[in-house]
Copies of this chain bind each other. A is one copy, B any other.
């Protein structure tokens, strides 16, 4: 049985609060209170609030990047060139992993990802490693082969569209529930819906200019 481990409890509390209130909306005091730790523990274990943010972001994003990379490896190891739907599944799928139906933690992590992608504070985006860019470039190349008719600019636009849908997805509906919103996304269903939605979008013929 692992001891409470202050460092981990701070990470957990920070992940929770950052996702819920954003970086600037979360005070170090709120984090340590929730973690049951002393105020100075953040400085001791992480150095500063910004470095804590980096640690939280890395812990959430790195497994996703790894899964995306492994998925692409698996596709490229096959005999046939990977199709659009397969690429979409491999790219977007990991963003839905570990988010079972009705899981509070899943929705929270989803929100954290959006927060990481969209928060204007440079402390939030300043942690990035080279891995993300590398993975996205690899997918870009694979999509380019699967969709040779597309201009690089429009392809790039579509890749960002994929990211937008998978990331933003369920966030808004959690923040301001729609009037007659039919039940929050049921985890696994959302994953399949997203793949359907995005595969069709990526496969669209080039926009004629």
Binding site for B on A (CB under 8 A): 20-22, 24-25, 111, 114-115, 117-121, 125, 128, 133, 136-137, 152-154, 156-158, 160-161, 163-165, 167-173, 175-176, 178-183, 185, 189-190, 192-201, 203-207, 209
What's the Cα separation between A36 and B194 when bound, in Å? 47
- Indicate if the CB atoms of A118 and B193 lie closer than 8 Å: no
CB distance from A141 to the nearest CB of B (A): 11
Known: A161-B197, A164-B168. 14 other contacts (CB 8 A): A22-B22, A25-B120, A111-B120, A120-B175, A153-B182, A153-B183, A156-B182, A157-B194, A157-B197, A164-B172, A167-B168, A189-B209, A196-B206, A199-B204
Residues of B contacting A206 in the complex (Cβ-Cβ under 8 angstroms): 196
- Indicate if the CB atoms of B172 and A133 lie closer than 8 Å: no
- Indicate if the CB atoms of A207 and B192 lie closer than 8 Å: yes
- Indicate if the CB atoms of A169 and B179 lie closer than 8 Å: no
Residues of B contacting A198 in the complex (Cβ-Cβ under 8 angstroms): 201
Closest Cβ neighbor of A191 among chain B residues: B207
What's the Cα separation between A160 and B173 when bound, in Å? 8
- Indicate if the CB atoms of B25 and A168 lie closer than 8 Å: no
Residues of B contacting A163 in the complex (Cβ-Cβ under 8 angstroms): 168, 172
